[in-house]
Structure formats: structure tokens, C-alpha cells
Amino acid sequence: MTLHAELRVTRGTFTLELDLTIEAGEVVALLGPNGAGKTTALRALAGLDAGGRVRHNGSTWDGLPAERRPIGVVFQDYLLFAHMTALDNVAFGPRARGVRKADANVVAAQRLEQVGLAGFAKAKPRTLSGGQAQRVALARALATDPELLLLDEPLAALDASTRLRVRSELARHLRDYPGHTLLVTHDPLDAMVLADRLVILEHGRVVQQGTPKDVVRQPRTDYVANLVGLNFYRGLADDTTIRLDDGGTLTVAEPATGPVHVVFPPTAVSLFPDKPSGSPRNTWPATVAGIEQHAHTTRVELDGSPAVVADITTATVADLRLQPGTTLWVSLKATEIHTYPAG
Amino acid sequence: MTKPPAVLLLPALAGVAFLLVPLAGLLVRAPWADLPRQLLSAEVGEALRLSLITASLATIVCLLLGVPLAWLLARGDLPGRGILRALITVPLVLPPVVGGVALLLVLGRRGLVGQYLDEWFGVTLPFTTTGVVLAEAFVAMPFLVISVEGALRAADPRFEEAAATLGASRWLTFRRVTLPSVMPGVVAGTVLCWARALGEFGATITFAGNFPGRTTTMPLAVYLALETDPDAAIVLSIVLLLVSIAVLAGLRDRWISGPT
């Protein structure tokens, strides 16, 4: 079942024109800089502002206010009701939709358990940590079994260390959720870890969309290139060795086990005409597939095992006499590679 | 802290004295020996009981009408909201006696509305206990509305949006989300409103008259007693003073410790 949305919002000189389709079970990330219209799009989809035409499963949501749309929203700062316990917060949605109090409490307790907060039912939001509050917000949004789950910068309010853990938890919950998910974020890493497809928005228009891999490999604008300037892979870790799903192995500094995401910036990649020797680096041969000139650097797309994107200086391009088809050696320091548990 | 200049310090101290010496005088002149008998006398008891009942009823009227009105002013999307707010706060600055005259003109037996109340329902409001309640509510309601409206404006409306995305109707959202979050403002407004109703004099004596047992509330009793029995007037005044201090104590978190 596909959800189709046509979002048309005009505010002053700003216009949002966004057509979205989201499959059941799919997570779409709406990625873009501040002021691109991401939050406007989310509010229109939610019915909090006018301009969101949505078709889903033979029905249209046009003109329906938020309270009549089958949605769940996780807000950036969660907006948990401060005077209610965590359980009452989660039970609020079912109660508002007419479920009896006892039944709503059962549903809410289950949802809290799913996010690992069974022991926090009686806790007031202000006593919860940022990560816990985020999980209560997710449980609350999912408690009504919404068709469409909207996440507005769900990790932005967390500090770096919490963020890592909450991100992989969120990825797991999103995989289990059968409905349609739209994630609004300005963080490319969140988008790549959590989403199946990226929709990149600039000045109220879609500038590019595709799988995280496609977008990283072929950014269509400078903005996108900078935004998603990351090499991104999925793989299986065994201590400091990671076997990548799409071929190739990498040696990393921090040991890990099981499925992981692997991320490193294109600037961490060095290119050499011959196999470099004598350093504990990841090296592998690769062929230049594309060269793209940006303002201060040149982005080189390389086929190999794994395929990789490198940002190098214009001088290096000249030194190496790079052109499509050139064969080179790729080198990458283990300490430049970040790995995250995949779930 | 720097030493304040004398040109500010002296008037400030004079101001403190000006505000506090009369209250101290009340305590100094109080007939302490006679106090228990006075307090338990029929007149004082009657006036006190009437005051507490009418002020409480007036406060309930203010809550029922004032909280929705405050919501409308803070959240409603109606044109001319600024003018409406200004009109509603008129009773705040209007001399209460003018309010009393206005009530009399509208709700009196020959009044614009009062004549029909009398004709159709046989209801007369002036010079009755109900009239006291109306006069007090008229004067006190702006206090409640202003206080609740301020709290509503300070409350983040995005919580109401969050409730809407969870399927809550606007009424449910108001009851379960908005109202609890502005409860401190509602409580403060209620206490202020009640205190104002309790001290009401001008509108009450104009609209409801001064009939012991029916419309003679504490402030009216003080005024009446001053002519005949000054000691009783002092005792009644002390009771009102104690009530005022209790109200202040109840609001200390909001007012004495300053904005939080």
C-alpha cells in the first residue's frame, strides 16, 4: 500500500512544492538545510497546517485536521505532557481515540515495554533522561497504531554519546513498524542509518532523491555533495575486521561484532598511483568512474571492492592525471572509519 | 550591593512607613481584651459568613465565565481581540461605584434587562444576596481573566498540537493538556479574584445596598460600624487584614520571590 502526498504551502515568498510517495514499511528521510521547508512539509502532512493532500488506501485526508488523521508524530523536543506520567502520556492517544481507560493503559504499558521503559510507567517526563524521553515520545506516537509516522529531528536534542545508542534503537523500532515513516532531519548520518530512501529538499523543492548509496555516489548539486559527504556501507563486524555486504573488507580501530554501519568522510580517502607499503592502512585497487569539480575540492568516484568516493585537492588530480578508467590504489586510515551497530 | 544614594533611600523608607504604619496602627488600636467577644458577636459572624459565601460564589461565576474568556483572548482567532481585551479590563480601573451604578441601570427593576427579569421570571437582583454576588463578580472577574490569559499565552501551544496529532479534540486537549499546564495561573487568578470579591465595597453598596444578613458583607459592616461602634470596625478590619495576609502567603511563590 502506497501513501501519496502532494504538499503545496505558500508562506510569504516561500513556496513548498513537494510530492512524496511512501511505501508501507518504508522509511523516507526528508533531508535539507534549515529553511528548506522540511518542518513545513511535516506540519502539512500532519494536518497542523493547511496544504497537505494525502491519498492512502482509497481514502483522502484533504482538509482533515490533525486529530482526524491516522498519524503519529515524534516532535524534536518530544513535547511530552509534563503533568502526566510516562504511562499517561502513552495512553493519551488511545484514550483520545475512544479506547477505555483500562485498555488504553494496557496498550501503553506494552508500548513502554517495547521501548525498554517498563519500569518507568509512573515517572514524570522531567525525571527522564533525554534518551528515555525520546523513547516515551516514540511509544506515544506509535500507541495509536498510526498509518503514517512522522519524526521531526528525533535525535537533534540528544548529546553525541546518547545519540549513537538511541539512533540504533530507533532504527530497530522503525524496522518493526509496518506503516509509512517520514523522517525529517538535517543530519545526513541519521538519514542514512534510519532511512531506506532520501528526499533532499532545497528552497521548498526536491533537488534529488534515491537510496542513501545512490545519493552519496552521485550527488546532483554541490549542496547535496557537501550534505551527504560520507561513504556509507553496511557490513558484518568481527573484532576489528568488517566484511562489507557489497564486497570488500575494512580494518577499523574499534572492535565490534555483528551487523554494523560503516561511515567515513571522502576527505579520509587518499589515492596513490601504486600500492602504498609499510603502513597499517586499508588499501585496495580501484578504477576511476567519475570526476566532479567542486568549489575547493574534486570529488572522485571510484569503482572497486568496496566502491568509494574521495575528495582530493585539484593539485592531486593533476599529479595523478586522473581520468575515468584510471586504475589507482585507495588508502584509508583505520582511525578515520566510524562504525555503528546496525540494530 | 552598593550603598543606595540618600535621595532614593529616604523616599523609599518613607514609602515603606506610609504603607505599613496604618496597618500597625490598626493592630495597636485593636481592643485586644474585647476581641474574642467581638469576633463571636452575631453581627461580625453574620457579615463574615455572608462575605465568605458571596465571595466564593462570585469566584465560581468568574471561573465559569472567565477561564473560557481567557482562552478565547489567548488562543481564539477572532478579529478585534485587542479591543475586546481592553473592554474586559475596564472594570479593573473603573471606580467600583460606577460599576454598581451601571449594574443598577441594566439589572435594576427598571433596568434594560432587569425589567424583563422582573416581568417574565419575577426575579429581582438589586438589594439581594444574588446582587452582592453579581457586583463582586463584575469587579473581580478581570483579575481572573488577566491572570489566566497571561498563563495561557506563556504556555507553549505546540503541546496542544501534539495532543491533536494524538487524536484529541480541542475540548479534550483543553481539559487534559492546556488547563493542567496553566493551573498555577488559574490558582493565582482564583485567589486574587476571591480576595478582590471579598474586599468589594463600592459596587456592592450601590447595587445591593446595605441590609444586615442579606447584603452587608465585611467591608460594608466595617463602614457601618465605624459610625456606631469603632471597636467593632477595627475588629472587622483586622479580620480582613488577616485574610489578605493569608492570600499573600498563599501566593508567595509567585509574588514574593519574584518571577521564576
Q: Does the pLDDT value for residue B150 go beyond 90?
A: yes
Q: Give the whole-angstrom CA distance, residue A175 versus residue A170.
A: 9
Q: Which of B156, B169, B180 lies closest to A67 in CB terms? A: B169
pLDDT band (50, 70, 90) for residue A255: confident
- Quote the pLDDT of residue A15: 92
Residue that the C-alpha cell 589507482 belongs to: A328
Q: Give the whole-angstrom CA distance, residue B93 versus residue B99.
A: 10
Give the ipTM of the model, two decimals please.
0.76
What residues of chain B lie within 8 A of the CB of A140, using their CB? 166
Cβ neighbours of A241 (radius 10 Å): 14
Q: How many CB pairs under 8 A join A and B?
A: 60
Q: Do B181 and A82 touch (CB under 8 A)?
A: yes
Q: Give the whole-angstrom CA distance, residue B244 versus residue B249.
A: 9
The letter for the amino acid at B15 is G
Domains of chain B: 36-217 (1.10.3720.10)
Q: What's the whole-number mean pLDDT along residues A133-159?
A: 93
Distances (CA, A) of B124 to A183, A337, B51, B205, B256: 64, 86, 20, 16, 43
With an 8 Å Cβ cutoff, is B158 touching chain A?
A: yes
Cβ neighbours of B24 (radius 10 Å): 10
What residues of chain A lie within 8 A of the CB of B154, using their CB? none
Q: Give the whole-angstrom CA distance, residue A147 versus residue A54.
A: 12
With an 8 Å Cβ cutoff, is A73 touching chain B?
A: yes
| Residue in A309, A297, A308, A303 with CA at minimum distance from that of residue A326 | A303
Q: Does the pLDDT value for residue A194 go beyond 50?
A: yes
- Quote the pLDDT of residue A219: 67
Q: Does the pLDDT value for residue B259 go beyond 60?
A: no
Helix then strand count (H, E) for chain A reads 9, 18
Q: How close A29 gets to chain B, by Cα (Å)? A: 20
Q: What's the whole-number mean pLDDT along residues B113-125?
A: 86
With an 8 Å Cβ cutoff, is B180 touching chain A?
A: yes
With an 8 Å Cβ cutoff, is A126 touching chain B?
A: no
**E strand or H helix at B226:** helix B218-228
Q: Give the whole-angstrom CA distance, residue A139 versus residue A104.
A: 13
Q: Which of A48, A65, A79 lies closest to B159 in CB terms? A: A79
What is the residue extent of each domain of chain A? 2-227, 231-341
Q: What per-residue string of b and e applies to B123-141 under the rule 16 or more CB within 10 Å gives b?
A: eebbbbbbbbbbbbbbbbb
- Quote the pLDDT of residue B258: 43
With an 8 Å Cβ cutoff, is A46 touching chain B?
A: yes
With an 8 Å Cβ cutoff, is A97 touching chain B?
A: yes
Average pLDDT, chain B: 89
Pick the CATH number of A2-227 from 3.40.50.300, 3.90.950.20, 3.30.420.130, 1.20.120.160: 3.40.50.300
Give rounded-to-5 percent helix, strand, coil for chain A.
30, 35, 30
Nearest CA in chain A to B169: A67
Q: Do A96 and B162 touch (CB under 8 A)?
A: no
- Quote the pLDDT of residue B257: 46
Q: Does the pLDDT value for residue B69 go beyond 80?
A: yes
Residue A293 DSSP one-character state: E
Q: Does the pLDDT value for residue B251 go beyond 50?
A: yes
With an 8 Å Cβ cutoff, is B175 touching chain A?
A: no
Task: Pick A163 or A88 by higher pLDDT.
Answer: A88
Q: Give the whole-angstrom CA distance, residue A147 versus residue A138.
A: 14
With an 8 Å Cβ cutoff, is A54 touching chain B?
A: no
| CB-CB contact of A298 with A291 (8 Å) | yes
Q: Do A48 and B169 touch (CB under 8 A)?
A: no
Q: Does the pLDDT value for residue B254 go beyond 70?
A: no
Most confident of A339-343, B38-42, B152-156: B152-156
**E strand or H helix at A7:** strand A2-11
Average pLDDT, chain A: 88
| Residue in A17, A25, A43 with CA at minimum distance from that of residue A150 | A43
Residue A319 C-alpha cell reads as 599529479
Residue A47 DSSP one-character state: T
Alpha carbon dihedral B206, B212, B215, B220, in 10-degree steps, equals: 50
Q: Does the pLDDT value for residue A159 go beyond 70?
A: yes
B165, B173, B177, B182, best to mutate vs chain A, most A CBs in 10 Å: B165
Q: Give the architecture-level CATH label for domain A231-341.
A: Beta Barrel (2.40)
pLDDT band (50, 70, 90) for residue B1: low
Minimum mean pLDDT range among A146-155, A165-174, B28-37, B80-89: B28-37
Q: How close B181 gets to chain A, by Cα (Å)? A: 7
What are B64's strand-pairing partners?
none
Q: Which of B156, B167, B176 lies closest to A97 in CB terms? A: B167
Q: Does the pLDDT value for residue B121 go beyond 60?
A: yes
With an 8 Å Cβ cutoff, is B179 touching chain A?
A: no
Q: Is the four-CA dihedral B255, B257, B258, B260 of positive or negative sign? A: negative
Within 13 Å, how many C-alpha atoms sit on residue A113's CB side?
6
Q: Does the pLDDT value for residue B148 go beyond 70?
A: yes
Q: Does the pLDDT value for residue B256 go beyond 50?
A: no
Q: Does the pLDDT value for residue A82 go beyond 90?
A: yes
- Quote the pLDDT of residue A137: 96
Q: Does the pLDDT value for residue B260 go beyond 80?
A: no
Q: Give the whole-angstrom CA distance, residue A181 versus residue A5.
A: 13
- Quote the pLDDT of residue A87: 96
